Amino acid sequence: MRGMRNIVAHDYANVDLKVVWEVATFHVPEVCAVLEKFFAERV
């Protein structure tokens, strides 16, 4: 995700919107689920 941020911030003219959509709809929810579990276990 960090690499994607760099591309979006610095090379936005060449951003592949299909890739952005895939990350936003498939990968971000997975990361959120892992983080929610992680933080729930630490409380």
Alpha helices (H) along the chain = 2-10, 17-22, 28-42
Domain ranges of the chain: 2-42
Q: How far is CA 37 from CA 4, 6, 11, 28, 30, in A?
A: 24, 28, 34, 14, 11
Q: What is the pLDDT of residue 1?
A: 72
CA–CA dist 19, 25 (Å, integer): 10
**pLDDT, tens digit, for every residue of 16-35?**
999 999 989 999 999 999 99
Mean pLDDT of 2-26: 91
CA–CA dist 15, 30 (Å, integer): 22
